Amino acid sequence: MGHSAQKMRKAAEHILAVDPAFTSIIESSPLCNIGRKKYQDVNHFQALVNSVIAQQLSVKAADTITARFTLALNGDVSPAKIRDVADLDLRSAGLSGAKTRTIKEMAHAWHVNDYDFSDPKLSDHEIISELTKLWGIGRWTVEMFLMFTLHRLDIWPTGDLAMRRGWEKIHDLADYVEPKNLDNQGEVFRPYRSVAAWYCWRIIDGDSNTW
């Protein structure tokens, strides 16, 4: 379920109140659409697979490989199908060896565990802790899952390069900002850190199809 326009307006107003540097990008953008319709039909397993594919890639490259990957599976992006398909077929779609292993091991884990992350009472920390136990699943992958699949509004993905570049542009910084230096600066945006991050991405990617 997506978030209401009223809630997104409230988030934007909060961000403007605590950091006026966001004024230009917020005024020139539509409301944040975390929880957008595009991803409502993607199940949790598929969403994590998509995040793994997107690791350290541009949006365009990730979209291309995701399309090839889906084609290699004849449209069936399920744990059972992935367990049965040859590694070579996944590599031929453009996946690295490491990502192939990660997705294969995820498929196995989903087969033996009854994963269900839809309970809103599960904390962000609990979900991060559970999923990062899987080989090749790091914090960034789970943060993307929390934001764009579970629609959590208070995630601050400082490990994301494009988000940091957006922060630098919004604040007219001449030097690169390190993730550890950005961690504490996100505190003022609580409970809407995901929305602030979304505007950082938007100033870099504009009207990306990813939104």
As annotated, the active-site residues are: 160
The C-alpha atoms of residue 189 and residue 156 are separated, in whole angstroms, by 9
Q: CA quadruple 159, 116, 100, 40: dihedral positive or negative? A: negative
The residue written with tokens 């490989």 in the block is 65
Q: Kindly provide the b/e burial profile for residues 11-47, where b requires at least 16 CB atoms within 10 angstroms of the residue's own CB.
A: bbebbeeeeeebeebbeebebbebbeeebeeeebbbb
Tell me the backbone φ, ψ of residue 154, rounded to 5 degrees: -125, 50
Q: How far apart are the first and last CA of the chain?
A: 16
The C-alpha atoms of residue 209 and residue 155 are separated, in whole angstroms, by 21
Residues 176/164, Cβ–Cβ less than 8 Å = yes
